[in-house]
């Protein structure tokens, strides 16, 4: 465990060094105040975080965490049931196929009109994105479970609930975590769009407001904050998967 953590930290430090060097070279090449170097941006991040940035970071984190939790609770059980029930799936599949490809961000104006400019409209929008990502993944992963895995448990007297608990859910959990990581990246991107259009809190608002004031150091401080939020969510999911899917880590 310690060796794995050390390798991850070394990997992050190496990647950060490469990114910072590339950022500095690009800043020199562009030669514009709109692209400050990493040192002024990082200094602005530290200064802003201690004053006015952290409330916006907390607002964004609260919204995306609430949306991820809500989308997971709604989508995963439904997807698992649809994957194991051909009759229900035959009814629900056409609706999923019609609604899943629609970009959920197009509903932002409708949600803003119906739910207002506060947290609710933003959380609902991100929940829709996470919900469909997890629903399709859980459904497909549940359908792909070999029949022999289910029959072997049923032969021991397991009921439907036991099958879901001991076979279906563990078998689909790695795919669900993969979908969560992918959905989280999209959720953070959409969160920026929603916050930049409506409201006066959140990292999206902070970035666009700094851009409007031509305060480019503050703008990049907000960008760094949003990047750190995405990394923190990704690593939290990695940690949860490592704890809940230990069998996938054997031999690594």
pLDDT digits (tens, 9 = 90+) for 188-231: 989 998 898 877 889 999 999 999 998 999 999 999 999 999 99
66-76 mean pLDDT? 94
Higher-scoring residue by pLDDT: 152, 217? 217
Residue 74 pLDDT: 95
Higher-scoring residue by pLDDT: 162, 224? 224
pLDDT at residue 70 is higher than 80: yes
pLDDT grade, residue 128 (50/70/90)?
Answer: very high
| Separation of alpha carbons 54 and 52, rounded Å | 6
pTM of the model: 0.86
Judge residue 219's burial from the number of C-beta atoms within 10 Å of its C-beta, 0-12 exposed, 13-18 middle, 19 or more buried.
buried
Nearest-CA neighbor of 85 among 202, 163, 3, 4? 163
């Amino acid at each position: 465990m310690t060796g794995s953590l050390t390798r991850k930290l070394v990997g992050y430090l190496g990647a950060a060094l490469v990114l910072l060097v590339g950022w500095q070279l690009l800043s020199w090449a562009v030669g514009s105040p709109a692209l400050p170097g990493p040192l002024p941006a990082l200094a602005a991040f530290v200064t802003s975080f201690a004053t006015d940035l952290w409330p916006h970071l907390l607002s964004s984190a609260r919204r995306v965490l609430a949306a991820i939790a809500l989308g997971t609770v709604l989508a995963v059980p439904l997807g698992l049931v649809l994957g194991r029930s051909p009759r229900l799936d035959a009814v629900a599949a056409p609706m999923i196929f019609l609604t899943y490809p629609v970009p959920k961000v197009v509903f932002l104006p409708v949600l803003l009109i119906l739910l207002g400019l506060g947290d609710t409209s933003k959380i609902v929008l991100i929940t829709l994105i996470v919900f469909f990502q997890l629903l399709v993944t859980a459904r497909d992963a549940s359908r792909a479970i070999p029949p022999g895995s289910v029959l072997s448990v049923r032969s021991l007297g397991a009921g439907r609930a036991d099958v879901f608990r001991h076979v279906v859910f563990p078998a689909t959990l790695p795919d669900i975590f993969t979908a969560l990581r992918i959905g989280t990246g999209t959720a953070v991107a959409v969160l920026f769009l929603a916050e930049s259009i409506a409201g006066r809190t959140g990292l999206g608002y902070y970035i666009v407001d700094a851009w409007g004031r031509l305060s480019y150091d503050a703008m990049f401080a907000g960008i760094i904050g949003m990047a750190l939020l995405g990394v923190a969510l990704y690593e939290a999911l990695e940690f949860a998967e490592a704890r809940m899917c230990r069998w996938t880590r054997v031999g690594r």
